[in-house]
Amino acid sequence: MTFLGVEIIDTKQQPDLFVDIEPLEIPSDAILLDNSHCVVINKNNKDKGQRMACGCMKSKDIGEYNTCPHLCEYCYANASKEVAVAN
């Protein structure tokens, strides 16, 4: 999660008789997980070559075309299922 720049924050503060606790500021773009936790993304991992609304992150393709054994319907890595199976 550190590499991705993701931080999970516990928003429920425990009362402490000896320490004055400042109110926790939750960023406006935080993603609420449940009643007491939220996620804050501190790093921009978006792939610059993608559309504005795309959530794809930077990556490196280390595979070879027409060899993916998963045979997903819309996979860009295989020209066809038959070619992938043959390879």
Q: Tell me the average pLDDT across 45-59.
A: 75
| Euclidean distance between CA atoms 12 and 21, whole angstroms | 12
Is the pLDDT reported for residue 31 higher than 80? yes
Task: Indicate the burial class of 78 (C-beta count within 10 angstroms; 0-12, 13-18, 19 or more).
Answer: buried
Is the pLDDT reported for residue 21 higher than 70? no
Question: Is the whole-model pTM more than 0.75?
Answer: no
Q: What is the structure's pLDDT at 4?
A: 76
Q: Tell me the average pLDDT across 40-48.
A: 80
Q: What is the structure's pLDDT at 48?
A: 80
pLDDT class of 40 with cuts at 50, 70, 90: confident
Length of the chain in terms of residues written: 87
Question: What residue type is 37 in one-letter code?
Answer: H
| Sign of the C-alpha dihedral computed for residues 29, 33, 36 and 40 taken in this order | negative
Task: Indicate the burial class of 41 (C-beta count within 10 angstroms; 0-12, 13-18, 19 or more).
Answer: middle
| pLDDT tens-place string over residues 4-13 | 788 888 877 7
| β-pair partners for 30 | none
